[in-house]
Structure formats: C-alpha cells, structure tokens
Structure 1
Amino acid sequence: MASTFDDPISSPTRSPGTFAAPRVKPKEHVARGTGFHAMVGWILFGIVGPILVLLTIVGTYGIALIAWLIALVKYNQRAKKAEAVLMGNGVKVAPDQFPAIYESVARMAGQLELKTLPDVYIIESNQQNAFALKIGSKQNIVLIDDIVYGALDNNNPEILDFIIGHELAHHALGHTGLFRGMISSHYKTLSRLDEFSCDAVSVAMQQNPQPGLDAMTLLAVGPRLYPRVDKASFAKQAQQVVSNKYSKKAESAMSHPLLLRRYGAIEAKS
C-alpha cells in the first residue's frame, strides 16, 4: 500500500496505519549483469589503475608519490568545501524543517537498515532531479526543488517517496563510495545498471510500482504537464521503447537509462 501524507508540506507524522514498512535487503534487487560489470570495472580501475600509478611512482623515483599525496590533501579540502557549499546554499531537511520529508527519509533508511541517517538538502535549480553523494564519510541526498514541488503540487507525495528511496538505495548498495563512484562515473554501463537496481529497491520498499511509474512520468514532462498525461498511452509508448532494439544503443554514452526503459522495468514488477 502506498504511503500518504496528511499535509505534504508540513505534517510531522503520517496517518496511523497508512504504511507497513517492511525491511528490504537491497542486494536482492540488484539488476542482472551488475556483478559482471562491477568486476570488469574493478579490474580496469581498481587493479590496472593502481598498477599504473605504482609504475609512475617508480619511474619518477618517488616524485609522483609526493604529487599523489598532495592530490589526496586537496581532495579532502575539496570535500570540506563541497559540504560547506551544500550547507550554505540549501535547506537541510530536519524534524522541524519539511518534517514529512524527514519522516520519509528516516522510515526508508530504517527499511534498508542504514547505519546512519543521510543528511538531506533541498536546493534550487531549473531541473527536476535528485542525487546521492558521499562527502568524506558523510552520506547525503540532494533533492532539487522542482522534483519536490512537482510531487507535492500534484498531490502525489508517493512520487517523492520513490525518489528518496531510490537515492537511499544508492547509499545502501555502496554506489557512493569513493572508488565505486569513480568506477561508475567512467563506466556508463555499470552506472545505468545501478539506476535499474535502485529503482527496484525503491519499488520493493513501497510494495507498489505505481509511484515509480508516476515518477518517470513526472521526470519526462514536468509538474505542469504531468496531470495531462494519458497514462495508458504513456505505458504503451514505454512498451515500444523497451522493444526497440536501438533504445539500448542510444544509451551508450549516457549515465542513466532512458526514462521509458526505466518505466518499462518498473512496470514489469507489477
């Protein structure tokens, strides 16, 4: 059963009994092929890369080692600056700041048995999006204001639950770790599989594929046109995209699958 908000903007709690929150094991929902491509990625970036670094250090009589140590220090400094920018430019979700969203994050983090609750920020940008990132050891989720507004203005907070669950899944599956994140950022095939995995985890948490289908629709057309979309026609279009042999080829340089391919994968779970 999908979750509901009494007041999607300010309600600190949900109506009693509106949602059963089952524990979800994210690794049980990993997309097929992820293990193979993760292994390929680790071989290319986790083994070959360090060997090349070692050869560079030896070949430069240790001078490269100093350069790498300086780079590490600079990385830590950039991480601190990135954290300061996020805190300085966004609104941090808290029990007294967008409490209904905070409750959703806490509940779904519990479903995934995350050890710590990620910090969540809402920032302004002219796009509909959300992303998970790790700054140092701290897990974060960033929600762009348009995706929050789109879900709530259309009286469909379950869409936002799906988006949040998807981003939490990235953390739960280790996608935001330093080396894993570097691998997927360069290895697009693995990155796209990760998106399918996180969609599947979020569907499992909500026990309902509909919020995921609605999220893909909202991402495709935006909040103003979302209410006007004929869902049956959109579902038919998704089937056509899934069956088109060129759809996967069109994604070759993309970090995310086509939205309607994601729609089709979610729909297949209904």
Structure 2
Amino acid sequence: MEKDLAPKYLIHKDEKLYFAFAVIVSIIGYLFLIVSIVGFIVWLGFAILSMFLYGLMMAQIRVNGIRLSDKQFPEVFEKVRELCERMEIRVVPDIYVIESGGALNAFASRFFRKNMVVLYSDVFDLINSADDGELSFIIAHELAHIKRNHISKQLFILPAMWIPFLSEAYSRGCEYTCDRMAAYYTNNAEASMNGLTMLGIGKSLFKKVNRREYLLQSSQEKGFFPWLAEKISTHPPLPKRIDEIQMFVGDSSSSAFRRTSRAMWLVVGIVLVIFTFAGIGFLYSDEIEEAVNSIVLDANSITNDVSSDEDSTIMVQAVAEGDIAKVKEQLESGIDPDIQDADGWTPLMWAAQDNNVDLIQLFIEAGADLELQDYYEETALMKAASQDHVEAIALLIEAGADPNMASESYGWTPLMTAATSGNLEAARMLLEAGANPKSKDGDNFTAFLHAKKEGYKEIADLIKQYEDNVN
C-alpha cells in the first residue's frame, strides 16, 4: 500500500463523531443513575446478568474451540504474531477456531481480562487455499478491534449502547476503522476487498464477482426499508465497506455511494440538546478519547492487581527458566516486582521455590515485599522452608523476612512448614533467626507437635530444645 499514514489517520471520522455523541449520552445516563437508586439497582442487575451470560458463551468457546499455538496450526499462529508486532499489539491474544455450520464470520472479544479472536471454521479453511491474504485481512480486522480498545470502550459508554441507532452508528464507524487498519497493516488492499466480497457470496465464488457492478447494484437500492435496514445494523453493508477501502487507498476516482448527512440519524429521536453538545464533543474527540483510554487502562490496572495476566505470565516464565537478563528487562520496563499470578505467587516466591539466589537478590533490590502472601497465605520464606533451600532462607532472613510471619486465617508459620516437610536445616536456620517455637496454629498445634505427628524425631528434638529456652 502506497499510503504512509500515522495510525490516528486510520480512524474513520464516523467512529470519532459517534463516539463523542456516545460519551455525552453516557455521562448524562450515569448522572441519572447516580440520582436514582432504583434505576441504579436495575441497571446493575441487568449488567451482572449480561456479563454472566456473556461469560458462559465465551467459556463454551474456550473449552470447545481449537486454540492456535506453536503446536496447533503454527503457520497461522506465526502470521498472527507477525500482525501483532506490526500493529504494535504487545500481547498476542488467544485465537480460537470454532465450527460454524457454513457461516463466514469472525469476532474479537474479551474474557476475564484476556483478549480473544474467534474465527469461524469456514473462514479458517482459507489456509488450505491460495487465499491466505483474505484470511490475514479478517484476522487483522479483529486485531484492530483489540488495538482500538473497542470492547472496553463499549463498556464505558454502556448507557449510550441502549440508545437505538446511536449504538449501531458507533459500531459501524468502528467497522470502517478496522477495515482501514486491516488493509493498511496487511498492505494488501485487493485481498481486503476480496475478503469483504467473500463474506457476501462465499469462499468459492468471490473471485468471480464483478466488484464494480456489485457496488453499483447496492448503491441503487433506495427507499425507506433499505435505509432503515442499514441504520439498525451494527455493520455497514459490505459494498459500502468495499467502497470505503477503495476510496481510502485511492483505487477509485469516484465513489459508487452518495454520502448522507451526519444529521440523518437525528430524525429517529435523539434530543436536540445532545446534538448541540455533540458538535463540541467532535471538536475535542481526540482529547475525549485519550481520557477514556486512560480510564480504561486505570480500570484494567485495578482489575488486574497492578499488572495484567500477560505481564505475570512473561515474568513467571522468565523466573522459571532462570533467565536473569529477561527478568531485569521486565523490571526495567516498569513491571511490579510483586506482580502475582493466578495463584497469587510473586516472582520472589518462584525464585525462592527454585533456590535461585541471584534472582532472589535481584527482586530484593527491586523492592519486592518479603511478607506478601499468596492466595494460600504462604510467603516466599515458607516456599523456601518447604524445600529446605537453606541459601534462599538465609538470604531472605538477612533481607528482613520475618521468621514469625504467620498466615492470618490459620496461624501457620515458616517453622511449621519446615517441621511438617521434614527439613531439619531449614528448621535450624529459622530457630536461630528467632522463630518462636511456641507459636500455635488454628488447631492449637506448635511446630514441635507437627514434627512429632509426622514422625520427624530429630526436628522435634531440636524444636524442643529451643522451647525449653523460651520463657
């Protein structure tokens, strides 16, 4: 593609305009919800029910669909990775293929903080033909939804999504943007237009379609019902999408379609005050969008406990492999040293579990919280004690880890961990560091009783010696 454009010029004007309208409508809607307790409860109930049903649908796809990976359709997965790198999408989303019953479609989604792209199997069949450029366009289109944060933005402007015609208008603007971005990043306008034609007639006949005639035919469909059918649809007509790509890449000197007034949708009931404010919103649409993106990122950071699951996975993988250079790179990029994975483990806990003293020292220097507990209320010191890693124990204690730090709900201590694990040297080091041998857990058991129960006589005798010296 000849055009050398900054990404912001890929954004279709309809997306910017209707997003500004939607923000204003949503702000008004949220104000009404704030002053109406009943309205807020109804809205909250509806939102929870919608999220629950949506979660069920996405879960069905994740448990039944085929997820692309290095070992599952690796050639397409590599293509996805290349597109993500080109589009500056830092984390490759999960790509699933599902049986479609002959339907040609794909969509982007988000499931509990994970971005997803779902491809229908009949579209995915293009990998078995020479038409992989069309498949690349469809994948890039869905990746563009992720790059533009369309899913998160729709949650932010949820009140506006209940307004007839407005939500559909915004959605159509987003589709035009994603078509542009897909054509731009795949650098294949012809395959992009072919891909859209294929969605209209199927993967066998699309190359035989006279595209110009197809566009002219659609442009001649006039009247109320064709107009209404478009206005209540979340996607523009396929010929219009093809025409927009032609105009965007400069392949057509004239458009087959007459562009209608932006005020057309007002006749269906949008109030005059919204129209007045929308002009102001459009003038400042870039600033509004930056503010919303900031809110979305802040909300994601709260939901993800400071950092995302993807960041956690990258860091955990680096620690598990003992890749010190990669860990340093992650820390220097701003990743929180106390980032937690799905079980609440921090990188320091993983390093303590592996007795990797170099990484432990690195995380200590980075300011890692030595007393942080995972979801089972275990600290890094407990992880080291359970494995009898004396080097890790010594380093953690020297850095200030409390040998008497107990779990809040059960009163479990590092010494109890060493006692039940049969780790004599770990128990000795903890006692020498000041571990209280008389501490009791929720069952009123001391470390001594745990050692006796498990049959570790030598550890029990050692703990008993220290018990006798404690007043």
Give TM-score scaled by structure 2 length: 0.46
The equivalences for 1:235-246 within 5 A come to 235-242=212-219
Indicate how the Cα distance of structure 1 residues 129 and 181 shifts in structure 2: closer, same or farther if over 3 A, else same: farther
Displacement, 1:181? 7.3
Indicate how the Cα distance of structure 1 residues 146 and 25 shifts in structure 2: closer, same or farther if over 3 A, else same: farther
Which amino acid in structure 2 is aligned with residue 53 of structure 1?
L
Where 1:95 maps in the other structure, the secondary structure is: coil
Which residue of structure 2 aligns with residue 27 of structure 1?
8
C-alpha contact 2:172 2:234 (8 A) present in aligned 1: yes
Match of 1:222 among 202, 208, 212: 202
Which amino acid in structure 2 is aligned with residue 263 of structure 1?
I
Indicate how the Cα distance of structure 1 residues 64 and 35 shifts in structure 2: closer, same or farther if over 3 A, else same: closer
Displacement, 1:68? 6.1
Indicate how the Cα distance of structure 1 residues 242 and 143 shifts in structure 2: closer, same or farther if over 3 A, else same: same
Which residue of structure 1 aligns with residue 239 of structure 2?
260
Where 2:97 maps in the other structure, the secondary structure is: strand
The equivalences for 1:46-195 within 5 A come to 46-57=26-37, 60=38, 65=41, 77-78=52-53, 80-126=55-101, 127-149=103-125, 151-177=126-152, 178-179=154-155, 182=158, 183=160, 187-195=167-175
The equivalences for 1:194-209 within 5 A come to 194-209=174-189
Where 1:33 maps in the other structure, the secondary structure is: helix
Displacement, 1:193? 1.1
C-alpha contact 1:166 1:201 (8 A) present in aligned 2: yes
Q: Measure the CA separation in 2 of the matches of 1:181 and 1:158.
A: 34
Which residue of structure 1 aligns with residue 18 of structure 2?
37
Which amino acid in structure 2 is aligned with residue 266 of structure 1?
I
* Number of aligned residue pairs: 240
Q: Measure the CA separation in 1 of the matches of 2:227 and 2:180.
A: 19
Indicate how the Cα distance of structure 1 residues 185 and 235 shifts in structure 2: closer, same or farther if over 3 A, else same: farther
Q: Measure the CA separation in 2 of the matches of 1:35 and 1:118.
A: 25
Q: Report % sequence identity.
A: 26
Which amino acid in structure 2 is aligned with residue 30 of structure 1?
I
Indicate how the Cα distance of structure 1 residues 83 and 252 shifts in structure 2: closer, same or farther if over 3 A, else same: closer
Which residue of structure 2 aligns with residue 15 of structure 1?
none
Superposition misfits of 4+ residues, deviation over 3 angstroms: 23-26, 67-83, 180-186, 239-250
Indicate how the Cα distance of structure 1 residues 184 and 259 shifts in structure 2: closer, same or farther if over 3 A, else same: farther
C-alpha contact 1:165 1:201 (8 A) present in aligned 2: yes
Q: Measure the CA separation in 1 of the matches of 2:134 and 2:157.
A: 26
Give TM-score scaled by structure 1 length: 0.77
Where 1:43 maps in the other structure, the secondary structure is: helix
Q: Measure the CA separation in 2 of the matches of 1:69 and 1:244.
A: 42
Indicate how the Cα distance of structure 1 residues 244 and 73 shifts in structure 2: closer, same or farther if over 3 A, else same: closer
Which amino acid in structure 2 is aligned with residue 97 of structure 1?
Q
Displacement, 1:27? 2.7
Long gaps (5+) in structure 2: 252-471
C-alpha contact 1:185 1:255 (8 A) present in aligned 2: no
Indicate how the Cα distance of structure 1 residues 144 and 31 shifts in structure 2: closer, same or farther if over 3 A, else same: same
Larger Rg: 2
C-alpha contact 1:108 1:205 (8 A) present in aligned 2: yes
The superposition leaves residues 189-214 of structure 1 with CA deviations (integer Å, 9 ceiling, x where unpaired) of 11111111100001111222011111
Indicate how the Cα distance of structure 1 residues 85 and 263 shifts in structure 2: closer, same or farther if over 3 A, else same: same
Which residue of structure 2 aligns with residue 10 of structure 1?
none
Q: Measure the CA separation in 1 of the matches of 2:211 and 2:96.
A: 31
Query: Comparing both chains, which one has the higher relative contact order based on Cα–Cα distances under 8 Å and sequence gaps of 6 or more?
Result: 1
C-alpha contact 2:15 2:170 (8 A) present in aligned 1: yes
